[in-house]
Amino acid sequence: MLMGKHLIAGNWVGGDAEFQNMPVSGSADSFAVGTPDHIDQAARAAEDAFWSYGYSSRAERAKFLRSIADHIDARGDDITAMGVKETGLPEGRLAGERGRTMGQLRLFADHIEAGNYLDRRHDEALPDRAPLPRPDLKMVQRPIGPVAVFGASNFPLAFSTAGGDTAAALAAGCPVVVKGHSAHPGVSDIVAQAILAAIKECGMHPGVFSQIQGGNRAVGQAIVQHPLIKAVGFTGSLTGGRALFDLCAARPEPIPFFGELGSINPMFILDTALEQRGSAIAEGWAGSLTMGAGQFCTNPGIAVVTEGTQAGAFGDAAAKALSAVGAQTMLTDGIADAYHQGRDRVAAHEGVRDLLTTSCDQRNATPYLYATTAEKWLANEELGEEVFGPLGMIVTVKNADERQAVAKALQGQLTCTIHMDDADTKDGQALMPVLERKAGRLLINGFPTGVEVSDTMVHGGPYPASTNFGATSVGTMSIRRFLRPVCYQNMPDALLPKDLA
């Protein structure tokens, strides 16, 4: 059963206006439209909750995170059915994403129980040190306060209501206010019900989690500008993310905006690998490029190869593999429109050749494949911009020097990939210093779609891949975004945080 309302501090709150979701099939559902006043109520409740939740024990928060996962699991069939209806994603994909979401919550529970993230340090007092004595100094990471999270269009579960940003913030001890995405308000509604059930089961302050659905840009602006919000987690477009980032920086009290904004995720196929197994790499690329209708931020949009016969064979193999992929439903009409516009923008550039053209309209996406030279690619910045969908481009280089020039011209990326054999080691070594300055994750002989949730994962990179190159939005290290170090000097144990006492 859908509530169709905002969840604010344990209460389901309506409004003066409603909007409807955009189902692929079936009848539409109605939801209350969020307003800046709803944001204010939620932020105030989150601040009130912080005085207890921010000082709760790690065991209490771990229990809460596991309870959220359990209550999401209990609603699994309803979540999947609503997700298929709203997004067009297949049941298997949604079931897998639900598993990932629950896994993230439970991983963070384990992570905070272990306690290593606290980075506890102690410099003992040196009263006899000359010329000046040293006081007793202790340091630990502490939660920063209420956090705003924007739901992502392309991940109705793993990057939305109870997704990675929410899990990391709650694990850190920070209450969360979610701005739900209009692409999947029904899924967000059901997941919010699961979180509320966990709040009641664990006896948490109800202000620890709120979710505001729908609303215009004023609602998004209100949440990042609210003086009680201390950080923002965002996954979405470069245009929207940059606008919110600028608002955060312009506040009287600037706050960090952790935006993951997209990437073309280039692949460099080196010469021996191209010669020995170019067709296999092309087929793998086609599968990665079209997975989920290409609606992944790690979608590998370009392949860089050395010109010649093998480059032609690679293009033929990729086109053949892509041509076997039928039309796929995109998440929203708006995303589909943006994909069609991106296709037209790429195709219009001088020096860009069609290797595979298809026909798609309305909310559908079919693959497209283009080719151009490094000279043309380097001369047109637009060709280095993300097209969100199953569109690929092959960039041919004359030699290793031109390959280096392409690598150095890249903007910040989430991922960069090298396909190589042993004979390509020298060229691979030459690329590595460039690529590690460009991306947060580097791959060899793989494809970047699929982001492991683990201690070592980095899902971020230099701008415009993300707004903070020192952070990740996936993996246990993402908790650092919502913590700050505090030093305690000559502090009696009775006044220290529980994690230091």
Active site residue 297: yes
Extract the tokens encoding 299.
């979608």
Closest by Cα among 239, 277, 268, 243 to 257: 243
DSSP 466: B
Extract the tokens encoding 211.
């979710």
The structure tokens 């952070």 sit at 471
* Residue 487, helix vs strand vs coil: strand
Active site residue 202: no
* Residue 19, helix vs strand vs coil: strand
DSSP 88: -
* Marked catalytic residue, from 47, 260, 386, 402: 260
CA dist., res. 492 & res. 162, Å (int): 38
Compute the CA torsion angle 182, 185, 191, 193 (nearest 10 deg): 130
The structure tokens 């490094």 sit at 374
End-to-end CA distance of the chain: 46
How many residues in the chain?
501
Per the omega criterion (within 30 degrees of 0), is the bond before 464 cis?
yes
b/e code 70-92 from CB counts within 10 Å (16+ = b) = bbbeebbebbbbbbbbbbbbeee
* Marked catalytic residue, from 248, 297, 360, 416: 297
CA 356 from centroid of its chain's CA atoms: 30
The H or E element that residue 370 is part of is: strand 368-373
Compute the CA torsion angle 330, 185, 38, 220 (nearest 10 deg): -10
Bridge-based pairing state of the strands 11-13 and 6-8: antiparallel
CA dist., res. 16 & res. 359, Å (int): 42
Q: Which residues are catalytic?
A: 260, 297
